Chains A and B, each alone.
Chain A
């Protein structure tokens, strides 16, 4: 089971994005990194079919995504947005309900998803009253509950405290074990490298490099995509990168 992105091109506010070429097998994590405005979020929205493509295609388990009905597509793909826009009062429970729109899900599964994200006690809370980090966990719980085969996450670590970042990486590893394929747009390159099997490096809408994490994560590539000088060092948890401003 594979999600394949082939020669996928888009146009977003004058920025030409692509061609994107990559494949994600189930049970794998792919991270997309690059500067702000390099087309990371747009790429996710393009794969979801929310932004129109110019050319190319997304193939999910052998089926062209653009030919799939919304309901079937949502069984394959879910999206964790950078921010969940909730303009009028909805409770955490309401939001979880929405996630199960296209499948028959049990209350138990909902509780499991909430428990996984450690937000069971917030079930009845109005979403608007939650903190940034809590909102983030709700949107991750909602994607878990949607139970699609592939999950696209836009900056899942933003707004999160250190302990929640740890929780997030545990959740991601767990989802991976359950056979989910995950694409993450990430800001923190070291976190991205530590959780990902593969990396896609982007700059100004173009792919700079793509491959297995430790084949593409190097000082040269980091310097290229962020226009800064990088150094690396070996830590007990693996190689770490840091920028040098001088």
Chain B
């Protein structure tokens, strides 16, 4: 992952010589007397670096979120968006775009996406609550149902203001372009903290993966653990969605890659899928930069294009092997 991050510093629409990139980073690290062209320094330090850090953070959050949701829902085809967070965030973003809302300044879209993402998960959680319990199947179904409902609302809003289609379209595709150090400083600590908490809860996640009856019998406070896991995952993913839009497939695939390589225990799945997801997104970001000369295409397109064939290949492997019980 580190290698990818360093490698990625050299990738971008503007061709910056190898030595200038190195010198720029050295200057940033405290060798202030080094002189580099200010444009190159600006591109490397102010534009490229925060994007790479951002892509890394997003990759970690989505992969770890995917692993935890797959365990809680005991379902291999769930991703971190399954509880309605992505549709909620989309609704928030679209409201901000369509109404031209400006109460949060330049971060209005992000803030609205964040708030609505969390709000919708909360609504889904409350809908599936019965006698203090939230059975995973109900959570999953209400997540899907509410998502569909909200997607219709988003469509309705767009229909009423077709001139915003372009902006919304790009937001929905997902992108790490333009992520700044300011955003990284807020987002990275939250995401790392959430990932560490989920890692520390890998025992609970493993037990929940074996069903709530078994989890309870080995001593897990099922509802409490589930609520904490959902809250932490939601916070982490809402932060991601608010800065990058909806990037697909990362959260679905990398937990499975880890399971195939290192087995199903979340003790290994969480850290390894975090590294895979981060590396993958950094690489996708590089590809997004170079695939069309002089232009950066949304990363969500790349993850989908690479992710889908990869996922199908993986399914073939699962089908042949013993990954899933027949």
Contacts and interface: CB of A to CB of B under 8 A. Distances in A.
A70 B221 contact: yes
A102 interface: yes
Interface of B: 70-71, 74-76, 131, 203-204, 206-207, 209-214, 216-222, 259, 263-265, 322-325
7 pairs of A and B residues whose beta carbons are closest in the complex: A74-B219, A102-B219, A79-B217, A89-B264, A128-B325, A70-B221, A90-B264
Given A87-B209, A102-B218, A128 B131 contact: no
A226 to B, nearest CB: 28
Contacts of A162: none
Contacts of B222: 70
Interface stretch (A5-13, A43-51, A195-203, A210-218): A43-51
A71 B219 contact: yes
A1 interface: no
Nearest to B255: A88
Contact of B131 (A45, A52, A69, A90): A52
Nearest to B206: A98
Contacts of A129: 322
A179 B76 CA distance: 41
A81 interface: yes
Given A89-B323, A128-B324, A95 B210 contact: yes
A14 interface: no
Given A81-B213, A97-B265, A90 B206 contact: yes
Contacts of A160: none
A168 B194 CA distance: 44
Interface in A131-152: 146
Contact of A88 (B203, B217, B219, B264): B264
B216 to A, nearest CB: 6
B233 to A, nearest CB: 17
A76 to B, nearest CB: 10
A94 interface: yes
A112 interface: no
Nearest to A146: B218
A70 B216 contact: yes
Contacts of B265: 90-91, 94, 97
A90 B204 CA distance: 14
Contact of B219 (A50, A97, A101): A101
Interface in A82-134: 84-91, 94-95, 97-99, 101-102, 126, 128-129
Contacts of A88: 70-71, 74, 76, 209, 259, 264, 323-324
Contact of B217 (A52, A69, A74, A128): A74
Contacts of B322: 89, 126, 128-129
